[in-house]
Amino acid sequence: MNKIRNGSIGGDVEAWQRELAASPRPTTWTRQGGAECAWPVEWSWPLEVDGIFGVRTEAATEAWQAARGLVVDGIVGPKTWAVARRSAPTSRPPKVAAAERAAADSAMPRHPELVGT
């Protein structure tokens, strides 16, 4: 994924906006320079996925970064993308201990028509 920021447009912005829209509505956060910010009550949520990185996407990005302990700069670069990938529910299956997996497998009924699939 490419670095995106206010003024960016396209598919990477749409992907990022989907990530933001799936997150809780932002409330308050602190910018990198120490400025306190709040999501304006007149701004709707979830964020519109339109592929245009504007002021609302930038504000939502800052809140998202603050909530995850990242540098709050409103820029979606490699570190922000990496955290988003790690937190995505479909990014990887949960790890299951080998013994737990073996116990679950042995409890499963066997169907001859599924052998080898």
**pTM for the complete prediction?**
0.73
1 located within any domain: no
Identify the domain containing residue 80 by its residue range.
11-114
2 located within any domain: no
52 located within any domain: yes
Given its phi and psi angles, is residue 34 left (phi above 0), alpha (psi -120 to 50 degrees) or beta? left
Total domains in the fold of the chain: 1
Residues whose CB is less than 8 angstroms from the CB of residue 52 and which lie 6 or more positions away in sequence, other chains included = 9, 13
5 located within any domain: no
Interval 20-58: pLDDT, tens: 999 999 999 999 889 999 999 999 999 999 999 999 999
- What are the tokens at 60? 């939502």
Phi then psi for residue 25, to 5 deg, are -60, 130
**What CATH number does residue 33 fall under?**
1.10.101
Contact by Cβ (8 Å): 19, 35: no
64 located within any domain: yes
Quickly count: other Cβ atoms within 10 Å of residue 101's Cβ. Answer: 11
